Structure 1
Amino acid sequence: MPQPVDLQALRALEQARGSRVLVLAASTLDIDLLPALYDQLRTIGKVERLDVVLHSRGGIVNGARRIALLLREFTRHLGVIVPHYCESSATLLAMAGDEIIAGDLAIFSPIDPHLHGDAGGDTSSISAQDIRLFGKMCASWFGADPDAAREQALALMCQNIFPPTLAAFYRTTLEMEQIGEELLRYQLPQLESEARRAIVRRLMQDYHSHNYAITGAELAALGLRVRRDAQAEALAWDIARTLHAGFGRGTAQSEEDEWDDMLLATRDSVNVRQRRPGGLHGRWREERPAS
């Protein structure tokens, strides 16, 4: 069976960076990843420099926070290397790194919270931005008085979304702002708290779609510590190409097939979680690489 990650590239990346390297790939970042990550980090031990090759489309905000805090416990300098996908909560996780190495195809995204399946049995999701900008849309598109538009927007939303749910959604946006500022302290300790919060607000509010593909250069323009490293980017891309071929739901041949939805890899071991259809708990397996 071929290795699910390019370990030769991983080892070369360690030599190039003078660090220990951990590949963290997850279809969905969540709390369930923590025990396996903890075991992997304990095996590595506490090191001066740890680089994480991050590959994820997002996940649970509090899961991303706890993953970030756990990674920080095991190193003095955390690098986050992004060859391709690093979206939504993965962008939030990357903000906890002392530096972000972003390749040509690195894709970050806004971190605006979403509400799933609320009124009328609707299973779609809406963004905090959809709610926040509703009154502005009424004024801009239909010429409504801005103050009247805000009042009408509130009335309409309370008719269609249970008011305590709206309040919970508001609390979620405050939580996102708080967590984002907390994680940015590691990367931008020289900034005042309000300056870090301003960066987080821009990532929450300055884009017209949650799927907007933010580049590394755009992330740097916001004030984050993003830089280029041609050798590290090339090696990380080799790792990403292996992940594209054998990782994620899209690699399953049918709806009944299992697929790998989480992967943690070091130079010494590869741990993969295999997911089963029907939402059942996944099963971890360890693969020992050849010497």
Structure 2
Amino acid sequence: MDVFSLFWLVLILFSLWPVMQQQRIQRARLAWLRRVQRRTGGRVITLIHRQEGTGLLALLGRRFITIEDSEKVLRAIRATPPEVPIDLILHTPGGLVLAAEQIAHALRRHPARVRVMVPHYAMSGGTLIALAADEIWMDENAVLGPVDPQLGNYPAASLLRAVARKGPEKVDDQTLILADLAGKAVHQVAETVAELVAHQLPPERVRPVARALSEGRWTHDFPITCDMLREMGFRVHCELPDEVYQLMELYPQPDARRPSVQYVPQPEPLPQGARD
């Protein structure tokens, strides 16, 4: 084999390696799903958005909740018998409100127990999905987030406050139109949240919690912890089965030239005579 042929062979192998790695990881994920479903007797669905390499060149891309996601999750829920419980493993920065609402309503309508598990975070639309569950299980350091709607680069609630502070006569027509849309968006999301949480909270807590989560009380990336959710009245477990963490290991982040985080998985014993 000449040098030119060897070069092309190496190039082809180098191009195919990411695809082979993706297939290996995908097989491991499916094996995890089958193993856990056999143990629990329920349906396990994963909605996990991490930065992953795709395609022959392993191009990186960030992922969010999309219509395609909602279609797949809705098909999985529809294929689940009414008496079979659902466990949804959720890790997402959020995404399209319409898609998140579709998933949330479908989970809420499922007759059997629905449990959402959050290993790290489920923000914005992810929080909307989590609120539809009968039980929320989270790592003790995991967080949810507010679900206040965003219009372009601006929080809807901030648009409303800006117009109210300046007065409608002192803002331009485009801002007034945005404020009108913002008012509708805040009302719609608050109604959706109230509908989703009504099964978990006492009636007198439903509207205050829905307003707190949707009215722009906090910034959109504000972390809502287990303790805060408990204070609101939700049934939250601040613990997760080890299997969930094993699953997250099957969603590796792309390797960087200089890793930013490193650690030894198991602490090494101190040598004899050593002191802390």
Is TM more than 0.5 here?
yes
> Which one is further off, 165-174 or 67-76?
67-76
Matches of 2:235 and 2:150, distance apart in 1: 27
Deviates more, 1:31-40 or 1:72-81: 31-40
Match of 1:217 in 2: 227
- Secondary structure of the 2:121 match is coil
Specify the alignment match of 1:131 in structure 2.
159
Q: CA deviation at 1:235?
A: 1.8
The structure-2 alpha-carbon separation of the partners of 1:105 and 1:70, relative to structure 1 and needing over 3 Å to count, comes to same
Cα distance change of structure 1 residues 41 and 183 upon mapping to structure 2, 3 Å threshold: same
Change (3 A) 1:78 1:24: same
Q: 1:48-67 counterparts in 2 under 5 A? A: 48-67=84-103
SS of the residue corresponding to residue 104 of structure 1 reads coil
- Cα displacement string for residues 172-208 of structure 1 (whole angstroms, at most 9, x for unaligned residues): 00000011011112333xx22x521210111234643
Counterpart residue number, 1:3: 25
2 CA distance for matches of 1:222 and 1:73? 23
- C-alpha distance in 1 between matches for 2:190 and 2:218: 18
Q: Show the counterpart of 1:76.
A: 112
* Residue from 245, 248, 254 that aligns with 1:240: 248
Structure 1: which amino acid aligns with 2:200?
Q
The question of 1:28 aligning with 2:56 is answered no
Provide the aligned C-alpha RMSD in A: 2.8
Contiguous gaps of at least 5 residues in structure 1: 117-124, 136-149, 246-250, 254-291
In structure 1, the partner of 2:191 is 178
Count of residues in correspondence between the two structures: 220
By how many angstroms is 1:155 displaced?
Answer: 3.8
TM-score (ref. length: structure 1)? 0.65
Query: Within 2, Cα distance between the matches of 1:160 and 1:223?
Result: 42
SS at structure 1 position matched to 2:47: strand
- CA distance in 2: counterparts of 1:95 and 1:229, whole angstroms: 17
| TM superposition score normalised by structure 2 | 0.69
- 8 Å CA contact retained: 1:21, 1:53: yes
* Residues 133-189 of structure 1: per-residue CA shift (max 9 Å, x gap): 448xxxxxxxxxxxxxx4524444x3273423211110000000011011112333x
The 8 Å contact of residues 109 and 210 in structure 1, kept in 2 or not, is answered as yes
Instruction: Output the CA distance in 1 between the equivalents of 2:149 and 2:111.
Output: 29
Write the mapping of 1:1-291 to structure 2, written as runs, cut at 5 A.
1-4=23-26, 6-7=29-30, 9-11=32-34, 13-14=36-37, 17=40, 19-26=42-49, 27-116=63-152, 125-134=153-162, 150=164, 152-156=166-170, 158-159=171-172, 161-188=174-201, 191-192=202-203, 195-205=205-215, 207-230=217-240, 232=241, 234-245=242-253, 251=254
In 2, Cα distance between the equivalents of 1:206 and 1:126? 11
CA contact (8 A) 1:55 1:84 kept: yes
Identity %: 25
Single out whichever of 20-29 and 58-67 deviates more from structure 2: 20-29
| Whole-Å separation in 1 of the counterparts to 2:250 and 2:167 | 48
